Amino acid sequence: MEKVTVFDLIERMSALLRSEERKKCTEFGLQSVHLQILDYLSRCNKYSDTPAALTNYLGMTRGTVSQTLLLLEKKAYVSKATDSTDRRVVHLSLLPDGKAMLQQARQTELFDQAADLLARDKLSSYDEMLVSVLTALQKSNKSQSFGICKTCLYFTVSQDGYLCGLTREALTEDDSGKICQEHRVL
């Protein structure tokens, strides 16, 4: 397949989602960045719930992120807590209101419908397909992949559960499904 096709297809999907997202946002009186931040926080793990990670993830400046977080904090969507060991670092967490908002704003209908339509066609193994597309994209975007923990180079299965090879810490099943800023593609 020529590059143009992949390029166009993915760009189209992306534009489609962007548009949907914008509509959702105005509906709930939010900005798309807010939604992206809430979404990220709901998916990232404990190593990645900092303003700095958000800065990298969203590709914005620190100042802007700081401002936006201030606003989200005022709306009681997120809360801050300084790290116990490194007192420069702030850990963010979704508050109940934030979770509720995210739940409402997620484009679930769109995807539900799409999935239903997909199910009718008898396509096999298109998830490995998409996975490989995404992985390829992540590899290209060298800097940071922000991949799922369990697909990481450092992710290891020990006798008594999961383990992060980088931090040497034990990981719960829950942790292993979330996005990590330290993620390295296999």
Interface positions with its own copies (CB under 8 A): 1, 3, 5-23, 26, 36, 39-40, 57-61, 108-115, 117-118, 121, 123, 126-127, 129-141, 146, 148
Residue type, 46: K
List alpha helices for 29-169, DSSP H: 32-43, 51-58, 62-74, 96-105, 108-120, 126-140
CA 182 to chain centre: 13
| Binding partner at 90 among its own copies, DNA, none, C-beta below 5 to 8 Å by kind | DNA
Distance CA 182, CA 152 (A): 9
| Binding partner at 186 among its own copies, DNA, none, C-beta below 5 to 8 Å by kind | none
Between residues 5 and 158, which has the closer beta carbon with respect to its own copies?
5
Between residues 100 and 118, which has the closer beta carbon with respect to its own copies?
118
**Which of 1, 2, 3, 63 is the binder for DNA (CB under 7 A)?**
63
| Binding partner at 31 among DNA, its own copies, none, C-beta below 5 to 8 Å by kind | DNA
Asked whether 103 and 42 are in contact (CB, 8 A), the reply is no
User: DSSP assignment, residue 175?
Assistant: H
Q: Should residue 62 be labelled a site residue for DNA when binding is judged by CB under 7 A? A: yes
Joined together, the tokens standing for residue 6 give 């992949």
Nearest to 152 by CA among 137, 141, 163, 160: 163
Interface residue list for DNA (CB under 7 A): 22, 25-26, 31-34, 50-52, 55, 60-71, 80, 85-90
